[in-house]
A and B are shown apart, each in its own frame.
Chain A
Amino acid sequence: MSDYRIYLFLALFMIGALVVPVLPIAVARFIAPRKPGSIKTEPYECGTVTEGDVWVQFKLQYYIFAILFVVFDVEALFLFPWAVVFKEVGPEGLIAMVVFIGILTLGLIYAWQEGVLEWET
């Protein structure tokens, strides 16, 4: 069976799998009571009224983590093709990958050293 056939199945599955979440929601829509009220639809805030809007920009603790995440996730992209042919490329391929991983590891050590990985409270 070629891969294209299987991807066709996966596309079909994506549509078919929608039955599992859609069916119960549709059934619930018919049998569940619906009585929305102004107090009932307030956002939950332990009984008090929410002050201000929640859709605001606020400082994330981890935006530098996000940059590091991109670095290491792209590394993984290079790592997987190498890993599949690891046995064929032999020691030269291993050395090339160790150098590549080594440079990234130095980057991680540098980031750690600079205190980027500390969670500031």
Chain B
Amino acid sequence: MGDIMPQWFSIVLLDILKMALILAVVPPCMMYTTQLERKAIARIQDRFGPNRVGPYGLAQPFADMIKMLVKEDIVPKGSDKLCHLLAPLLIVVPSLFLFTLLPFGPGFIAAPISTGLLFFMALGSTGTLAIFTAGWTSRSAFPLLGAIRNAAQLIAYEVPFVLASAVIPMIVGSLRMTDIVMAQSVSGWFIFTPWGFTAFLLLFTAGLAEVNRTPFDLPEAESELVGGFHTEYSGMKFGLFYLAEYVSTIALAVLLSVLFFGGWAGPRIPFLPALGSAILWISMKSFLLVFVTIWIRGTWPRFRVDRLMGFAWKVMIPVALANLVGAAVWFYCPGFIGTAVSAVLVVSVFLLTSQLWAAPKPVLTTTWADQTS
């Protein structure tokens, strides 16, 4: 007993330290991502952006936080009050969970489980349940429309997301995040292979849809659905939805840099320990990807809802399936031939399906859809 207790205690203490580190670092990262986004979009739109609170507007996120805290929390009449309160909790916890599964340096991962990639995707899709809870329990028309759009969007984009990421365990032979990074230190970054590049584009697109970022922000389309699923939320509960959205965006960026950009690998930065250099590299790669999502938001319009579903089912899923075969070809025929054949395969499937998708609707006399409705 005397021997077991201190060991047990040190394990729990280590767990609490890991937890405290994640919970202390992630929310400030999110706050400054909102700042980065507002500044970047302001520059794209030829404005200055927040520049009044503190030097260069750097205290703006804190001002926003105080504003959220002192705002009145309004719960609409007739809504399910318990679920209305639970929805923001349900969306924030899984998004923070994603950071336990991501490696930030050699051995610097909170939960190195053997099914890391699969668990990440399972957690990533739970946000939809929270969004649907938020939309449905508000008992108001706009949130309900936003929630139903979100469910449709997840149903469409979850499939290419999962299919596209399956090429990684095929080539690496493991779902463990650290193994994926190690494999890239031997074979080079996966972004430079034809299947890796395709999978990156598919995962980035489907990932934007999963975290509801432009051009897939239909669930909260502010110009048509007021605020979408969070129309009836105010104060801190509203702020928590924003926290979850940005935290998942950062998690997606870290995931993509782990899967395709070699994770923490990079030349050793002088005057830093090895771990510090690794963390700095993965942070730079991830923030570059976060910046790309902001850039997309600043430049692209929103998808139309009918085209959204068609794009996932008719273009992304066939390309993801072709990419699986392409990765197998690349693996069995090493060298130039395999690379060329898999690239040609994926590009030809993309050209074919995108042409068919963009083609005008065929006029059918009777369809199954007609008979059932």
Contact pattern, A 74-87, Cβ under 8 Å of B = 1, otherwise 0: 00100110011111
Q: Is the CB of B362 within 8 A of A31?
A: no
Q: Return chain A residues, CB-CB under 8 Å to B328.
A: 86, 94, 98
Beta-carbon contacts under 8 Å, A51-86 to B: 53-55, 59-62, 64-66, 68-69, 72-73, 76, 79-80, 83-86
Q: For residue B113, which residues in chain A have a CB less than 8 angstroms away from its CB?
A: 3, 6-7, 10
CB <8 Å contact, B89 and A12:
no
Q: Determine, out of B150-158, B252-260, B266-274, the stretch whose residues face the partner at the interface.
A: B150-158
Pick the residue among A13, A17, A28, A44 that contacts B73 (CB under 8 A).
A28
Mask for A31-57, Cβ within 8 A of B = 1, else 0?
A: 111111010111111100010011100
Residue of B nearest to A101 (CB): B321
The contact of B163 among A21, A50, A76, by CB within 8 Å, is A76
Q: Chain B 314-342 against A: per-residue CB contact (8 Å), 1 yes, 0 no?
A: 10011001001100100110000000000
**Contact flags (1/0) for B138-174 with A, using CB distance below 8 Å?**
1111101000100010011011001100111111011
Whole-angstrom CA separation of A50 from B170 in the bound complex: 53
- Give the number of residue pairs across the A-B interface with Cβ within 8 Å: 227
Q: Is B74 an interface residue (CB 8 A)?
A: yes
User: What's the Cα separation between A85 and B243 when bound, in Å?
Assistant: 38
The interface residues of chain A lying within 8 Å CB-to-CB of B213 are none
Chain A residue at smallest Cβ distance from B79: A43
* Residue total for A at the interface (Cβ-Cβ under 8 A): 76
Which residues of chain A from 82 to 102 have any CB-CB distance to chain B below 8 Å in the complex?
Answer: 83-88, 91, 94, 98, 101
Given contacts A88-B173, A116-B368, 17 further A-B contacts (CB under 8 A): A1-B112, A3-B113, A12-B19, A17-B23, A21-B89, A25-B236, A29-B73, A42-B76, A50-B140, A53-B139, A64-B372, A65-B313, A69-B156, A76-B166, A84-B175, A85-B173, A86-B171
Q: Which residues of B contact A (CB under 8 A)?
A: 11-12, 15-16, 18-19, 22-23, 27, 68-79, 85, 88-89, 92-93, 96-97, 100, 110-114, 118, 136, 138-142, 144, 148, 152, 155-156, 158-159, 162-163, 166-171, 173-175, 226, 231-232, 235-237, 239-240, 243, 305-306, 309-310, 313-314, 317-318, 321, 324-325, 328, 331-332, 361-362, 364, 367-369, 372-373
3 smallest beta-carbon distances between A and B, as pairs: A119-B306, A43-B140, A115-B367
